[in-house]
């Protein structure tokens, strides 16, 4: 897909078809995240890639908005060691956001849907994925082919008015 079309086609997909994602496509999505920028290039992240159905089902119970993980073809848990202070905690959130966008856009470029999933139950995600005790997994990203309709550029996205959001020179 052309880059601008990819940006406009990405949307949260929460219903996935049964089709698997080819390994080379999954590798490209992961590489996109790996290539993402991070504060001071500290790259705090680890990606735990989950395709096992029983693990996906267990992960789908770790937050109120994580149900779609169960039917995904693959879900990537974003993991980092517990940040040492508030500054690093802020960096971590920003960096996770950046890598998520990279992965999602790489997926959309391949026609693969993606959906954020915020993890509330940290104890459970650590148990399911055998994560070290001193790690956090604030988000997962679910991937799979959309069950509803293919990704196409969205003409009018559900967004606040552009003019209300964009300020030129001053507020
Ligand atoms: C930080 C963050 C956390 C999110 N957490 C969830 C979530 O737990 N479950 C979910 O279904 N969607 C989640 N979303 C998706 C948003 O609801 C979605 O991006 C927003 O409604 C805009 O829709 P769109 O992505 O289709 O454009 C999250 C998005 C972000 C950026």
User: What would the pLDDT profile of 26-66 be if each residue is shown by its tens digit?
Assistant: 999 999 999 999 999 999 999 999 999 999 999 999 999 99
What per-residue confidence (pLDDT) applies to 1?
77
Cβ 132 under 6 angstroms from ligand 1: no
The protein residue with its alpha carbon nearest to ligand 1, atom 12, reads 116
For residue 76, tell me if it sits in a domain: yes
Q: Does residue 77 sit within a domain?
A: yes
CATH number at residue 111: 3.40.109.10
The answer to whether residue 79 sits within a structural domain is: yes
Number of domains the chain is built from: 1
Q: Shortest CA distance to 116 belongs to which of 72, 155, 154?
A: 72
State if residue 20 touches ligand 1 by the CB under 6 angstroms criterion.
no
10 lines ligand 1 (CB under 6 A): no
Asked whether residue 71 is assigned to any structural domain, the reply reads: yes
CA 165 to the chain's CA centroid: 24
The predicted model scores a pTM of 0.98
Distance in Å, CA 115 to ligand 1 centroid: 7
Per-residue pLDDT tens digits for 107-142: 999 999 999 999 999 999 999 999 999 999 999 999
116 Cβ closer than 6 Å to some ligand 1 atom: yes
What sign does the CA torsion over 88, 143, 48, 119 have? positive
- Domain hosting 88: range is 24-146
Candidates 49, 23, 16; CA nearest to 151 is 16
80 inside domain:
yes
Centroid of ligand 1 to alpha carbon of 12 (angstroms): 7
Q: Is 113 in the pocket of ligand 1 (CB under 6 A)?
A: no
Residue 22 is given by DSSP the state P
166 part of a folded domain: no
Q: What is the C-alpha R_g of the chain? A: 17
């Amino acid at each position: 897909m052309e880059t601008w079309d990819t940006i406009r086609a990405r949307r949260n997909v929460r219903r996935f078809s049964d089709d698997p994602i080819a390994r080379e496509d999954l590798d490209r999505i992961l590489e996109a995240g790996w290539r993402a920028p991070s504060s001071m290039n500290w790259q705090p992240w680890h990606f735990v890639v989950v395709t096992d159905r029983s693990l996906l089902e267990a992960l789908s119970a770790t937050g109120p908005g994580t149900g779609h993980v169960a039917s995904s073809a693959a879900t990537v848990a974003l993991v980092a060691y517990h940040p040492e202070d508030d500054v690093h905690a802020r960096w971590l959130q920003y960096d996770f956001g950046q890598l998520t966008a990279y992965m999602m856009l790489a997926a959309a470029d391949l026609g693969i849907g993606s959906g954020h999933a915020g993890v509330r139950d940290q104890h459970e995600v650590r148990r399911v994925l055998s994560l070290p005790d001193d790690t956090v997994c604030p988000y997962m990203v679910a991937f799979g082919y959309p069950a509803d309709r293919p990704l196409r550029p969205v003409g009018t996205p559900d967004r606040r008015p552009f003019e209300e959001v964009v300020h030129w020179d001053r507020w």
